[in-house]
A and B are shown apart, each in its own frame.
Chain A
Amino acid sequence: NAGVTQTPKFQVLKTGQSMTLQCAQDMNHNSMYWYRQDPGMGLRLIYYSASEGTTDKGEVPNGYNVSRLNKREFSLRLESAAPSQTSVYFCASSVPGSSYNSPLHFGNGTRLTVT
């Protein structure tokens, strides 16, 4: 059982280049998320998709777009990369829970450097 799979693992971009980070989960989860992690700042939510067909902005959406391609896949696009987007990006998924005890399952991350 693979869980949450992210590609690529590492990427170096020049300022202004574009790229798409891919994420897929095989746990039949409805909800998916993109976080970025920077030193000393914890995990910050970029975008989320509560269910297939919906996406919404998180805390730090500027400079990013997302696509929920189907129930399994949720991609994150940087249209014009900037050095401030150098970070580790994590995709996560969960079963939305009315009990609120719905842990996030994270992928292994994409380490992006923008020069």
Chain B
Amino acid sequence: GQSLEQPSEVTAVEGAIVQINCTYQTSGFYGLSWYQQHDGGAPTFLSYNALDGLEETGRFSSFLSRSDSYGYLLLQELQMKDSASYFCAVRDRWDTGFQKLVFGTGTRLLVSP
């Protein structure tokens, strides 16, 4: 089977740094992605890691360790607008050979003043 685990909720204050962890168990692995979703909105793509290490995009960074089946999203200099749900997603393959994304259940980040 496939499973992705991430904390259900994380709280932090403006200006702080927060890390959202994701551990996964999947039959195949072709990369770990992160998506952000504000309440009532659509998920939007944040980052993608295919190889081990850290990828940085502005205030957001994402890390992957394939040997540990583990990744995290790091958000720095938190702003109120970062309050949202964050989903990790593993890219795997269907039997048809087509790629698929399997999503975690999401982490709700609450940023307070």
Residues of A that sit less than 8 Å from B by CB: 4, 31, 40-45, 48, 50, 56, 58, 90, 96-97, 99-109
Contact = CB atoms under 8 A, between A and B. Distances in A.
B99 interface: yes
Interface stretch (B10-18, B38-46, B62-70): B38-46
A42 B87 contact: yes
Interface string B40-56: 01111100101000000
A42 B103 contact: yes
12 contacts: A4-B42, A41-B105, A42-B4, A42-B106, A43-B87, A90-B42, A100-B30, A103-B33, A104-B35, A104-B101, A106-B42, A109-B42
A41 B82 CA distance: 21
Contacts of A102: 99
A35 to B, nearest CB: 8
Q: How large is the interface on B (under 10, 10 to 19, 20 to 34, 35 or more residues)?
A: 20 to 34
A56 B42 contact: no
Given A42-B87, A101-B50, A106-B42, A56 B106 contact: no
Given A42-B103, A100-B91, A50 B98 contact: yes
Contacts of B44: 106
B103 A103 contact: no
B98 A48 contact: yes
Contacts of B33: 103
Given A100-B91, A104-B45, A43 B103 contact: yes
